[in-house]
Amino acid sequence: MKLKHKPKTLAILCVLFSLVLLVFTFSSSMFSYLKRVRVVENLTSLYSMGAVEEEGSDSLPRHYLVYTPKTGLLSRLKIMSPIGMADTVSQISYDIESSEKALPESIDTFTEVQSLTLSNISLTSREALIIGKLNNISSITFYNCDLSIQFCSNFPSKNKLSEIRIYESTASPSSMSALLRRTPDLSTLSISKNNQTSELLKNAQALPLESLSLRRCSIDQESLLLISKIQTLKHLDLRDNKLPTRSFEFLATLPKIWGIDIRKTTFSPNELADLSTSESLTAIWISGQKITTNDLNSLFKIRTLQQITAVLPTKEPHPKSHKDVKVIIRRYDYDTANE
């Protein structure tokens, strides 16, 4: 009789043991999770999974630390760190969508932050002071912000700051001048929708820039001349622009340039041949302009060239093959598009 009930007893014991193990595992996970929760004023942080996707690169997995204010406002604060390093915050993004439009002072508790993104904020000397307390900042991005002269004049002068990106934001020439004077070690500068590009570039001459992006900016010959004087430049992004004549003649003189991006850009196709005198150009990206196979073939004269990525009209033949150059061609029916 005892033998008859023994399997049933063992089954019950196994179930009880599994439940105890499940509760222990859940408790350990919750304890680990709660250790990662931090508070910034009235903002409570929570981890979630996500991915960062940048054009031209693979999606990079990240931990997102998302802050939701207890007040129910739409303000949110995101912190991202490489997967597997959840306790080391590397990037913080503060996006204000409420009427408050102010950066919380206690953001300076995140001293390990290396990359800061600010969106929809009117920046004053107060924000400059707060940012100054983040001693490890190497990259800062402004999106749809108002960069006042007070903010730029009091912007912390940091030796570690190497990247500034300003998108869809407003800043006067005097503000930009003040900001760039405070960042003497800048190697990456990215600007979009700037109608005073020449003034901006005058202030960038003394910087050790290696990467410059001027998307949807006002580019004239003076701008190109100023760009050609940045001897340290390696990568140039001129997407979404209309280039003046002799543009490539200026760009070919850059001694260290390896990449030029002129996608969605209007230019004189026959002037591409002016790049043939470049002694360092490795890659070029071209689209937005109706070019011919002969226009692309002229680029093979660049002895350092390794890759061409371009859009050709549907009926144009493929460029000649070259053993040292990878050619990536996409097709577009310009005639149909213009009907």
Q: Judge whether 29 lies within some domain.
A: no
**113 and 72 within one domain:** yes
**221 and 283 within one domain:** yes
Q: Judge whether 72 lies within some domain.
A: yes
Q: Judge whether 11 lies within some domain.
A: no
- Amino acid letter for position 20: V
**274 and 225 within one domain:** yes
**194 and 324 within one domain:** yes
Dihedral sign of CA atoms 151, 152, 153, 155 in order? positive
Domain boundary among 125, 160, 195: 160
Question: Do residues 165 and 140 touch, judged by C-beta distance below 8 A?
Answer: yes
Q: Judge whether 167 lies within some domain.
A: no
More confident residue, 111 or 48: 111
Q: How far is Cα 7 from Cα 36, in angstroms, rounded to an integer?
A: 44
Instruction: For residue 108, give the 3-state DSSP assignment.
Output: helix
Q: Judge whether 3 lies within some domain.
A: no
Residue with the two structure tokens 């410059």? 212
Q: State the Cα angle at 329 between 323 and 331, rounded to 5°.
A: 155
Token pair, residue 223, equals 């701008």
pLDDT digits (tens, 9 = 90+) for 238-258: 999 999 999 999 999 999 999
- Structural domains in the chain (count): 2
**125 and 196 within one domain:** no
**316 and 238 within one domain:** yes
Answer whether residue 55 shows pLDDT above 50: no
Answer whether residue 91 shows pLDDT above 70: no
Token pair, residue 263, equals 């996608």
Q: DSSP character for 328?
A: E
Model confidence at 102, in pLDDT bands (50, 70, 90)?
A: low
Backbone φ, ψ for residue 294 (5° rounding): -60, -35
**122 and 191 within one domain:** no
Q: What is the pTM of this model?
A: 0.74
Taking residue 104's Cβ as centre, other Cβ atoms within 10 Å add up to 19
Model confidence at 48, in pLDDT bands (50, 70, 90)?
A: very low
36-40, 135-139, 194-198, range with the lowest pLDDT: 36-40
**199 and 116 within one domain:** no
Q: Judge whether 2 lies within some domain.
A: no
Q: Judge whether 226 lies within some domain.
A: yes
Residue with the two structure tokens 């005097």? 174
Residue 87 burial (C-beta neighbours within 10 Å; 0-12, 13-18, 19+): exposed
Range of the domain at 306: 187-339
Q: DSSP character for 305?
A: -
Q: How far is Cα 316 from Cα 319, in angstroms, rounded to an integer?
A: 9
20-29, 137-146, 160-169, 202-211, range with the lowest pLDDT: 20-29
More confident residue, 12 or 328: 328
**219 and 155 within one domain:** no
Question: In the predicted model, what is the mean pLDDT of the chain?
Answer: 76
CA atoms within a 13 Å half-sphere pointing along the CA-CB vector of 35: 9
- Report the residue count for the chain: 339
**228 and 288 within one domain:** yes
Backbone φ, ψ for residue 206 (5° rounding): -85, -5
Q: How far is Cα 246 from Cα 67, in angstroms, rounded to an integer?
A: 50
**154 and 276 within one domain:** no
Answer whether residue 76 shows pLDDT above 90: no
* H-helix segments, the chain: 2-35, 125-131, 149-153, 173-181, 197-204, 221-228, 247-251, 293-297, 334-337
Looking at residue 196, its pLDDT comes to 84
Q: Which domain CATH number covers 195?
A: 3.80.10.10
Q: What is the mean pLDDT of residues 247-274?
A: 95
> For residues 106, 107, 109 and 110, what is the CA-based torsion angle, rounded to 10 degrees?
170
Q: Which of 189, 203, 209 is nearest to 256 (CA)?
A: 209
Domain boundary among 160, 195, 218: 160
More confident residue, 54 or 114: 114
Q: Which of 133, 123, 185 is nearest to 156 (CA)?
A: 133
SS3 readout for 57-124: CCCEEEEEEEEEECCCCCCEEEEEEECCCCCCCCEEEEECCCCCCCCCHHHHHCCCCCEEEEECCEEC
Q: Judge whether 177 lies within some domain.
A: no
Q: Which residues contact 195 (CB under 8 A, 6 or more apart)?
A: 217, 218
**195 and 156 within one domain:** no
